[in-house]
Structure 1
Amino acid sequence: MPNLIVIGAAKCATTSLHAYLDAHPEVSMARPRSAVRGTNDDAPKEMRFFWRADWRENLAWYAAHFDPGSPVRGEATPAYAACPFHWGVPERIAEVAPDARLVYLVRDPIDRLMAHWVQARVDGLRSDLEEILQSRAWMDHQIVCPSRYATQVERYLAHFPAEQMLVVDQQDLKHDRERTLAEVFRFVGVDPAHRSAAFDRERNTRGEKLALTPAGRVAYRRVLDPAGRRLAPTPWSRTAPRVRRALSRPVPTPTLSDDVRSRLEDLFRPEVERLRALTGRAFSRWSL
């Protein structure tokens, strides 16, 4: 079983941290079996295991993803810190891997929310951000609840001692990477002085976020993708990403009205204050 789990938050550089950890010789990070390692550095990393209804029945499948010869065996699934959108995750992790070290990446909660919406648009979401934020259950929406950091931390601290969790500011990983990685490596129990060329690259960045245009969506989903899967599935799997990119355009950064921003600030400010108290960290680069 893993002894390291990156639990979130989404859009806080978890893909980059997964790669940095995996570049350490004492750490082995898992990928789901559907992702072929060694062929695509950006292949899906998320195991998405502990919210599955059949998680208990598939423990052997999950365990098979971890290298028993590696001192540190980890996985990274950002939505493990997305309660109440995903319930019961801390309890299940505590049952299976009670001694696991937990790394939780965070960033300015409003910035994170907007980046999450951009990713959701890339993945096919049709709703505008303001439409989501004006819905009845907006505080528990899947792109809002991951920014409620203190709520997520408190859920884990009910099942894990505080010394097993490290909260890391994404801005520190971005702007002070060497020191921040040394802190993470020290926390998980490996050589903090290790350096790698892999640490110079950022992954899954904002500039990579493209979404199908309306015409491209029709062409790709109704014609090209079905035909490619049916007629030449193996060549199409290699060609499809390039075709999809050609039919896509950058997703513009959303803008928030003063009213909506004020509502978000009212929701997140108490969360940030509790997070500072829980961690002793200032998060000085944040807007709240």
Structure 2
Amino acid sequence: MAPDFIIIGAMKCGTTSLYRYLGAHPEIGLSREKETDFFLAKQNFAQGLDWYRAQFTSGARIHGEASPNYTKHSEFPGVPERIFSTAPGVKLIYIVRDPIDRFLSQYHHHAIAGEANQDPAQVLNSQAGRNYLECSRYFKQLSRYLEFFERDRIFIACFDELRDRPQALLRQVFDFLEVDSAITVDGLDRIHNQRSSLQGLPQWYFNARRSPVLRAIKARIPRPLYDAMLNQLRRRSQVELPRLDEGLRAELKDLLQDDATQFRDLAGMPFNNWSL
């Protein structure tokens, strides 16, 4: 059983929410854990196809997963080739947001998790900052997939639509996946994995969740129970985030403008709410 679709990113663009919403459709089955990271050579590809197939529950008409690391080519090269060689008929979903907001959201995400120690003024001079930039270069990331997949195999979604008009966007995604688009999904008023929901979690949680043991346990715990456990862990005090000035935004605009222009042409979408 190969996946029928994969949400390939981008990180901090609503992939968790989209994954959860799709999982509420009765014809769609998802991987037990959102991010299998199977197609990463440094992660799980060596586990083999039997391991990958075992990540999916049976019984649904189509199956899919969501791994935003699949559009981090500078960190994890070779992913489109591996996906194509394994599942050449797969459909891909790429959800994006304002490239500058996405960069800053990833920086804050890593700061909350204790993984970003750079001063905001120096973040662009760090390897981490360069990786954040690459994730916001949507044209560059998607161009690698277009070397293997036809454009009509890729659905480009906008985070703003998912947040503001989720049911309308889901109908388009359901049509793309060829499942019943008349299905109404509940719980669309909640955006998952938001910064505000992460800031109150203790530091040890972010270290522990990278553990293969915890990932295996998490995959077997019903989602409502896992969410309830996280709520118990949250503290009233929240991690203070680095202050970001307009100078950084201006520099990011210069660095990302050309890619954003090319991506608009590729997607055929205006992205009118973007800042560049």
Q: Which TM-score band applies after superposition, normalised by the shorter structure?
A: 0.7 to 0.9
1:270 and 1:201, CA in 2 relative to 1: closer, same or farther beyond 3 A? same
The yes-or-no answer on 1:208 pairing with 2:197 is yes
Give distance in 2, aligned partners of 1:254 and 1:184: 37
Residue equivalent to 1:12: 13
Give distance in 1, aligned partners of 2:200 and 2:111: 7
Residue equivalent to 1:80: 70
What letter corresponds to residue 160 of structure 1 in structure 2? F
Contact in 2 for aligned 1:211/1:251 (Cα 8 Å):
no
The yes-or-no answer on 1:130 pairing with 2:118 is no
Give distance in 1, aligned partners of 2:26 and 2:95: 22
Give distance in 2, aligned partners of 1:85 and 1:64: 26
Runs of 5+ unmatched residues, structure 1? 33-44, 222-236
Give distance in 2, aligned partners of 1:15 and 1:57: 24
Give distance in 2, aligned partners of 1:240 and 1:279: 40
The yes-or-no answer on 1:61 pairing with 2:54 is no
Contact in 1 for aligned 2:6/2:91 (Cα 8 Å):
yes
> What whole-Å deviation, never above 9, does each CA across 1:231-261 have from its counterpart, x for those lacking one?
xxxxxx9999568533852443641342x32
> What whole-Å deviation, never above 9, does each CA across 1:42-98 have from its counterpart, x for those lacking one?
xxx211121134514422101111234322100001121111121111111111111
Q: CA deviation at 1:202?
A: 1.8
3-state SS in 1 of match to 2:48: helix
3-state SS in 2 of match to 1:20: helix
1:156 and 1:171, CA in 2 relative to 1: closer, same or farther beyond 3 A? same
Runs of 5+ unmatched residues, structure 2? 206-225
Residue equivalent to 2:218: none
Structure whose CA Rg is larger: 1
Residue equivalent to 2:219: none
> Could you tell me which of 277, 281, 284 is aligned with 2:265?
277
Query: What TM-score results when the alignment is normalised by the length of structure 1?
Result: 0.80
1:238 and 1:94, CA in 2 relative to 1: closer, same or farther beyond 3 A? closer
Between 157-166 and 45-54, report the one with greater CA deviation.
45-54
1:170 and 1:239, CA in 2 relative to 1: closer, same or farther beyond 3 A? closer
Give distance in 2, aligned partners of 1:262 and 1:74: 38
Query: What TM-score results when the alignment is normalised by the length of structure 2?
Result: 0.83
1:90 and 1:243, CA in 2 relative to 1: closer, same or farther beyond 3 A? same
Give distance in 2, aligned partners of 1:204 and 1:239: 14
1:249 and 1:75, CA in 2 relative to 1: closer, same or farther beyond 3 A? same
3-state SS in 1 of match to 2:188: helix
Contact in 2 for aligned 1:114/1:254 (Cα 8 Å):
no
Residue equivalent to 2:166: 177
Contact in 1 for aligned 2:13/2:159 (Cα 8 Å):
yes
Identity of aligned residues (%): 35
1:173 and 1:243, CA in 2 relative to 1: closer, same or farther beyond 3 A? closer
The yes-or-no answer on 1:70 pairing with 2:60 is yes
The yes-or-no answer on 1:255 pairing with 2:258 is no
The yes-or-no answer on 1:264 pairing with 2:252 is yes
1:242 and 1:178, CA in 2 relative to 1: closer, same or farther beyond 3 A? closer
The count of residues paired between Structure 1 and Structure 2 equals: 253
